[in-house]
Amino acid sequence: MTIRTRVRALGLAAAASSLVLAACAPTAGGGSDSDATDTADVSTDITDVEDYTLTVWDQEVRGGQNAQMEQLNAAFEDKYPNVTIDRVSQSFDDLQTTLRLALTGDDAPDVVQANNGRNMMGQFVAADQLICLDSWSEAYAWTDRYSDSILQYSSYSDDATEFGEGCLYGLPQMGEVVGIFYSQSKLDEMNL
């Protein structure tokens, strides 16, 4: 998920299990369209933020995925009644088709689920349509929850020419865990 530049006084706040739920975090001074560049500018307590509707676009339209997103959003809104999540869910193809145009408009979504490849996220970074989330990453200790090998897939240099390094522009929807299954008795038989 990525967050758009036009988000006023809000940032990305939480990741919930394997699905990322975008939440808001006010910046110091309630600035307008400026990006927070220092962790001191990011607050992790949004209980006193004025009422806000956060527009979130995602592609979780299938049964269980949709139900999980609805449950996560409801739990978030229960915890923070001052924030309403206006969720716009579209199929992957529809989202990829409409997102580019939507981000250029005056009524762009606050948080979007975007493909992290050069043809999507890379172009959004190059067009300055996404904000660097490094301050939020530090404030919420995302590097403690995600390995560098996962976070690099949402990182670009400021000019979007280098993929996998530079600022973090989103959080992965999920990370893959590779496990090895084996039979200890078979390994013992083979003296391994």
Sorted by where each begins, the domain ranges of the chain are: 2-189
Greatest mean pLDDT among 8-17, 43-52, 80-89, 111-120: 80-89
- Look at residue 105 in the predicted model and tell me its pLDDT: 83
pLDDT digits (tens, 9 = 90+) for 138-172: 999 998 888 888 899 899 998 899 999 999 999 87
> Rounded to 10 degrees, what is the CA torsion of 128, 133, 69, 77?
-110
Share of the chain above pLDDT 90, in %: 41
- Look at residue 1 in the predicted model and tell me its pLDDT: 56
Q: pTM for the complete prediction?
A: 0.69
**Assigned architecture for domain 2-189:** 3-Layer(aba) Sandwich (3.40)
Check if the beta carbon of residue 71 is closer than 8 Å to that of residue 21.
no
